Amino acid sequence: MGVEMPGGMNGYQACRALKDNKATQNIPVIFISAHSKTEDRLKAYESGGDDYVSKPLVVEELKHKIALALANQKQRNELAEKARQAAFVALMSMRGAADAGVVLNFMSEILRHTNLAEIAATTLRTLKMFQIKGAVQLRNGQGNVSRNSAGACRMPY
């Protein structure tokens, strides 16, 4: 991209517009200009430029810089994909840990209960946390308890 451009917008402004647009922000921009002062180069980099080649143009240098810009872009894309994958794995790990916490809490609670109705209620509450509708029937030597999400129920034996 040239620094001097027709139409009122210079290369720095055009580069900034590209980098501020989500659809074009990852396109590498190499400035090619007769402006060779350090402040010109710095302004190009500050506007989002990836590299700067001064005129007179040396074709081999430009080819090398294009190859580097494309290789860097490929690496950035690969790193972004790895970051997305890592975020997904972290989210799944957190979800698994949360699920394990619910199960551990359930086990801790039912050990404290002294009657079948409390155990049935805790079981149904825990199932609800996993968005599961269910029914529970518990029996001991003193009787049985049948419950579902709506409350008491009659279950066939």
Average pLDDT on 32-47 reads: 92
Segment 69-102, tens digit of pLDDT: 999 999 999 999 999 999 999 999 988 888 888 8
pLDDT value at position 49? 95
Q: Is 60 exceeded by the pLDDT of residue 28?
A: yes
Q: What is the largest CA-CA distance in the chain?
A: 97
- Model confidence, pTM: 0.57
Helix (H) or strand (E) holding 112: helix 59-112
- Expressed in angstroms, the distance from the first to the final Cα of the chain is 81
Nearest Cα to 83, choosing from 64, 152, 91? Answer: 91
What is the residue whose two structure tokens read 């950035």?
A: 76
Asked if 69 contacts 30 with a C-beta cutoff of 8 angstroms, the reply is yes
| Omega before residue 6 within 30° of 0, cis | no
| Phi–psi pair at 150, nearest 5 degrees | -90, -10
pLDDT value at position 72? 92
Q: Is 90 exceeded by the pLDDT of residue 152?
A: no
At 7, the pLDDT band (50, 70, 90 cuts) reads confident
Q: Is 60 exceeded by the pLDDT of residue 157?
A: no
pLDDT value at position 96? 86
Asked if 11 contacts 4 with a C-beta cutoff of 8 angstroms, the reply is yes
At 151, the pLDDT band (50, 70, 90 cuts) reads confident
Q: Is 70 exceeded by the pLDDT of residue 156?
A: no
Segment 115-147, tens digit of pLDDT: 898 999 999 999 998 888 889 999 888 888 899
pLDDT value at position 114? 86
